[in-house]
Structure 1
Amino acid sequence: MTPQQIDLIRSSFEPLKPLAPTVAEAFYAQLFARDPALRALFRGSDMSEQGTRLMQMLSAAIELLDRPHSLNPVLLKLGQRHAGYGVVEAHYASVGAALLDTLSAGLGQDFTPEVREAWTTMYGHVAKTMQEGAATEALAA
């Protein structure tokens, strides 16, 4: 990621922080509309708590974007944990699309092509690294 992309992600995420519960709710609505089968992975989960964790994870990842040596180990472990929950590689595309749709709806005209590209690049890195973590979990099992 370029420094400009990191700045775009950080500045576009800032106005969403005070709206975190609403953003998380919109994300899960997008996700389950896009891929209803994913709802089964959250059975028994408190979705409000899940949304809080999602927004905390996004905030932490965004904070570490310019320090991949700190971010990547966290993402690898997150991928391992998610593999244990039943997340498979195909789910990452649904999550990425739901994230971009949520950001687009939440940011409106501020979700410019450059901002979209920055978020797409970030999510690509997150998904790839988490999938690497999931693969190491599968090998260990």
Structure 2
Amino acid sequence: MDPNQVNLVRDSFVQVLLDSDAAARLFYDRLFLLAPDTRPLFRNDMTEQGRHLISALAKIVTGLSSLDVMLPGLRKLAERHVGYGVEDRHYAVAGDALMHMITVHGGSTIDSATMQAWKSAYALVADVMIAASNDYRDLHDAA
């Protein structure tokens, strides 16, 4: 991602932070609508889960300008997601839910360049996490 894309993501994420509980609810409502099979993966209080989501997104958004620092954390997050039962196919649905959340909460600040920046950021994160998940599964399947 180029610095302009990073800035577009950061600037638009502020709108999510202004009403983060509602944004998280919107994300999970969309996720469960598109992939009802993901609902049982979430056993905790959904308000608290939403706060974890927004916190993780904030770390990712902040880390976009220093990927080398962020990558180990993404790999660990991916390993935890394997333990929760997340499958590779869930990343596409989560991406859709994220884009929906950004579009709704970004309002008029979301233009095509901003959406493309978010799609690039998510693709980068999802690719890293899917690869890390598969490495983790391969390592543990071989053991």
Alignment TM class, shorter chain as reference? over 0.9
Indicate conservation of the 8 Å contact 1:78/1:133, yes or no: no
1:14: Cα distance to partner? 1.1
Alignment match, 1:7: 7
- Structure 2 unaligned residues grouped into runs of 5+: none
- Superposition CA RMSD, Å: 0.9
Alignment match, 2:121: 122
TM-score (norm 1): 0.96
5 Å-filtered alignment, 1:14-33, equals 14-33=14-33
Deviations 1:62-118 (A, max 9, x none): 111110111111111111110111111100000000100111111123211101000
- Matched residues in 1 for 2:19 and 2:58: separation? 13
1:57: Cα distance to partner? 0.4
- Structure 1 unaligned residues grouped into runs of 5+: none
- Matched residues in 2 for 1:135 and 1:37: separation? 20
5 Å-filtered alignment, 1:37-76, equals 37-42=37-42, 44-76=43-75
* Letter of the structure 2 residue corresponding to residue 18 of structure 1: L
SS in 2 for 1:89: coil
* Letter of the structure 2 residue corresponding to residue 63 of structure 1: T
SS in 1 for 2:65: coil
After TM superposition, the structure 1 stretch with the greater mean CA deviation from structure 2, 102-111 or 128-137, is: 102-111
Deviations 1:19-50 (A, max 9, x none): 111100111011111111110111x2111111
Indicate conservation of the 8 Å contact 2:27/2:97, yes or no: yes
Indicate conservation of the 8 Å contact 1:65/1:71, yes or no: yes
Indicate conservation of the 8 Å contact 2:15/2:105, yes or no: no
- Matched residues in 2 for 1:132 and 1:15: separation? 30
1:15: Cα distance to partner? 2.2
